[in-house]
């Protein structure tokens, strides 16, 4: 039986951008690969729907954090592959640092007796 997964509506604002940047850090990936990577690395807790994924990818591309190129997918279909830019790598580092500070602070509040 599949446990309830958090959809992208459940994610905190900005978290999806951070997750996408982290996934493409390892190399170019198309949208389906990005969504599947987030799902598998979160043990099926985080599910990213197309209605949120593609607007996020376009937003990141407009900001210059990722760049897109066309290529062939595993099924030999035309697919857009997204890769991290130098500007995106700097943003990933900044957002990761901020995320760690936030989660530490929330954890401290939750652990208060």
CATH number at residue 41: 1.10.10.10
At residue 11, the pLDDT reads 52
Residue 67 to residue 11: CA distance in whole angstroms: 24
Is 1 a domain residue? no
Asked if residues 74 and 94 have their Cβ atoms less than 8 Å apart, the reply is no
* CA separation for the pair 26, 4 (Å, rounded): 28
Q: Is it the case that residue 9 has pLDDT exceeding 70?
A: no
pLDDT of residue 12: 58
Q: How many domains does the chain have?
A: 1
State the pTM of this model. 0.85
Residue 52: domain span: 6-110
Range among 7-11, 46-50, 72-76, 92-96 rated most confident: 92-96
User: CA-CA distance, 91 to 94, in Å (whole number)?
Assistant: 5
């Amino acid at each position: 039986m599949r446990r309830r997964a958090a959809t992208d509506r459940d994610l905190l604002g900005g978290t999806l951008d951070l997750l996408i940047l982290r996934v493409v850090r390892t190399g170019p990936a198309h949208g389906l690969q990005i969504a599947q990577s987030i799902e598998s690395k979160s043990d099926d807790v985080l599910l990213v729907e197309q209605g949120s994924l593609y607007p996020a990818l376009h937003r990141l591309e407009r900001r210059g954090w990722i760049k897109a190129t066309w290529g062939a997918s595993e099924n030999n279909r035309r697919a857009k592959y997204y890769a991290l830019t130098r500007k995106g790598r700097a943003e990933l580092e900044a957002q990761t640092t901020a995320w760690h500070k936030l989660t530490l602070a929330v954890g401290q509040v939750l652990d208060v007796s």
